[in-house]
Structure 1
């Protein structure tokens, strides 16, 4: 297997783009080579097989979608309040929309994982670790929490993102920022009159 880390990263990013635009069925070494604008056969030198490519794409998507340390530090330089939770969730939604291909590729991987047990195990492990990190971060940061707040935020925001990225016309009558606020209020147990 080839050892050029920059080339490997570029190929994994290309795989994520292919997943987002062509779906899991369209993810071939040839498609990845074309997306990365490298000679035919390059991807097959970096990945043992299609499963290896899918697994590496699954791990790398979370790196792409993670907040930059400096941006997160800037957000966290605020009083621990529901307003900070709003800001964090709005930033999360903005990052996912900013890398639409990354989030759509993650959705494709989730669907493909229903048919591939090894991918399901790897993706489950990664998602579980990410959720635990989010729960730990929320608690360690001293954000409002009744024990299940992060779970409610996680499931409501991911549901909103799925709807917005796959069928945005459903939400045409609503401002995305307002929907995030409604979901945060609900997760924090705050009625709309307190907003």
Structure 2
């Protein structure tokens, strides 16, 4: 049977939507077909099993969440500095907040990867490649710090996003009006939360050298 690559991508995107909304247990062929608005049984023609569906979602999700190269080029126009790292980190947090569905689906995939070896291998490969590309980009761009700086930023920002998406009240109560105003300016327009912006700034200040 000839399969349509665009249809496959649309089905994987629908699987990501189902994952974010229903969790891993809700990811069935029937649910994906309904989300994609296609006839029942369509997904089973494109994926050999639920394992295959999970693995394909893990392979595609980092592509879906990758930034537009033109946006990256625009963000990099200022010269390399810790301020630029702060601006880029705020930008990443804003992008992940805008792509909340994708991030929640990623969390579901990470948990499911503890039970599915093929998914674990695919996610590890894809995320390791992304991290290594980010390290090369940081170092080659002359941004302050080294490979370990990028690794620590990766760990800190991902931990922050997990809290923001799952327990959003964890840190917001500590925010003062003055901090909200200051960090709102630092984060730029569209910041998801002033408390989050303050923590992003702290992460950068404590991790990235001057």
TM-score, normalised to structure 1's length? 0.93
Instruction: Indicate whether 1:90 and 2:110 are aligned.
Output: no
Following superposition, the deviation at residue 45 of structure 1 comes to: 1.0
Stretches of structure 1 that go unaligned for 5 or more consecutive residues are 191-195
**Over residues 82-110 of structure 1, what are the superposed CA-to-partner deviations in whole Å (9 max), with x where a residue is unaligned?**
11101111111111111111000000000
**Over residues 25-62 of structure 1, what are the superposed CA-to-partner deviations in whole Å (9 max), with x where a residue is unaligned?**
11000000011111111111111111111111112111
Corresponding residue of 1:77: 77
Corresponding residue of 2:179: none
For residues 147 and 44 of structure 1, the distance between their equivalents in structure 2, rounded to whole angstroms, comes to 42
For residues 87 and 8 of structure 2, the distance between their equivalents in structure 1, rounded to whole angstroms, comes to 34
Corresponding pairs, count: 190
RMSD: 1.3
Corresponding residue of 2:118: 118
Corresponding residue of 1:181: 201
Instruction: Indicate whether 1:132 and 2:132 are aligned.
Output: yes
Following superposition, the deviation at residue 186 of structure 1 comes to: 1.4
For residues 56 and 146 of structure 1, the distance between their equivalents in structure 2, rounded to whole angstroms, comes to 33
**Over residues 124-182 of structure 1, what are the superposed CA-to-partner deviations in whole Å (9 max), with x where a residue is unaligned?**
11111111111111111111014411011000000000000011111222421111111
Secondary structure of the residue aligned to 1:67 is coil
List 4+ stretches of structure 1 deviating above 6 A.
none
Stretches of structure 2 that go unaligned for 5 or more consecutive residues are 176-194
For residues 92 and 64 of structure 2, the distance between their equivalents in structure 1, rounded to whole angstroms, comes to 12
Q: How does 1:1-195 map to 2 (within 5 A)?
A: 2-173=2-173, 174=175, 175-189=195-209
In structure 2, the CA distance between the partners of 1:41 and 1:147, relative to structure 1 (3 Å rule), is closer
TM-score, normalised to structure 2's length? 0.87
